[in-house]
Copies of this chain bind each other. A is one copy, B any other.
Amino acid sequence: MSPFSRGFVPSFMKLLTRYPCRSTRGSLCRFSGSVDAHGGVTVRHLPADVTEAAFSELLRESVCVWRSEGRVAVWLRVPLCRSRLAEVAALQGFTFHHAVRDEAVLSLWMEDGESRLPNYATHQVGVAGAVVNQSNGKVLVVQDKNRVKNMWKFPGGLSNPSENIGDTAVREVFEETGIRSEFRSLLSIRQQHHHPGAFGNSDMYLICRLAPVTYEINFCKHECLRCEWMDLAELAKISDATPITSRIAKLLLCGLENGFDNIDLNMEELPAVYTGLVYQIYHRKIPEHV
Q: Which A residues are within 8 Å of any B CB, using their own CB?
A: 1-3, 5-10, 13-14, 37, 80-87, 90-91, 95-96, 98-105, 118-126, 144, 146-149, 151, 155-162, 164-165, 172, 175-176, 186-202, 204-206, 222-223, 236, 242-244, 247-248, 250-251, 253-254, 262-265, 270-275, 277, 279-284, 286-287, 290
Name A286's contact: one of B86, B149, B251 (CB within 8 Å).
Answer: B251
User: Do A8 and B270 touch (CB < 8 A)?
Assistant: no
Q: How far is the CA of A175 from the CA of B66 in the complex (A)?
A: 29
User: Do A250 and B96 touch (CB < 8 A)?
Assistant: no
Residues of chain B within 8 A (CB-CB) of A200 are 13
Q: How far is the CA of A250 from the CA of B289 in the complex (A)?
A: 10
Residues of chain B within 8 A (CB-CB) of A162 are 193-194, 202
Total copies of the chain: 2
Q: How far is the CA of A242 from the CA of B274 in the complex (A)?
A: 10
User: Do A83 and B81 touch (CB < 8 A)?
Assistant: no
User: Do B197 and A9 touch (CB < 8 A)?
Assistant: yes
With contacts A1-B172, A104-B104, A191-B280 known, is A254 near B287, CB below 8 A?
A: yes
Q: Which residue of B lies closest to A87 (CB)?
A: B83
User: Do A1 and B164 touch (CB < 8 A)?
Assistant: no
Residues of chain B within 8 A (CB-CB) of A165 are 191
User: Do B146 and A37 touch (CB < 8 A)?
Assistant: yes
With contacts A5-B157, A83-B90 known, is A243 near B270, CB below 8 A?
A: yes
With contacts A80-B90, A90-B83 known, is A196 near B161, CB below 8 A?
A: no
In the complex, how many angstroms separate the beta carbon of A260 from the nearest chain B beta carbon? 10
Q: How far is the CA of A200 from the CA of B214 in the complex (A)?
A: 36
User: Do B157 and A1 touch (CB < 8 A)?
Assistant: yes
- Residue in A99, A156, A160 with the greatest tally of chain B CB atoms within 10 Å: A99
User: Do B204 and A123 touch (CB < 8 A)?
Assistant: yes
User: Do A189 and B1 touch (CB < 8 A)?
Assistant: no
Q: How far is the CA of A254 from the CA of B144 in the complex (A)?
A: 42
Name A157's contact: one of B6, B155, B222, B263 (CB within 8 Å).
Answer: B6
Residues of chain B within 8 A (CB-CB) of A262 are 284
Residues of chain B within 8 A (CB-CB) of A250 are 286, 290
Q: How far is the CA of A185 from the CA of B162 in the complex (A)?
A: 27
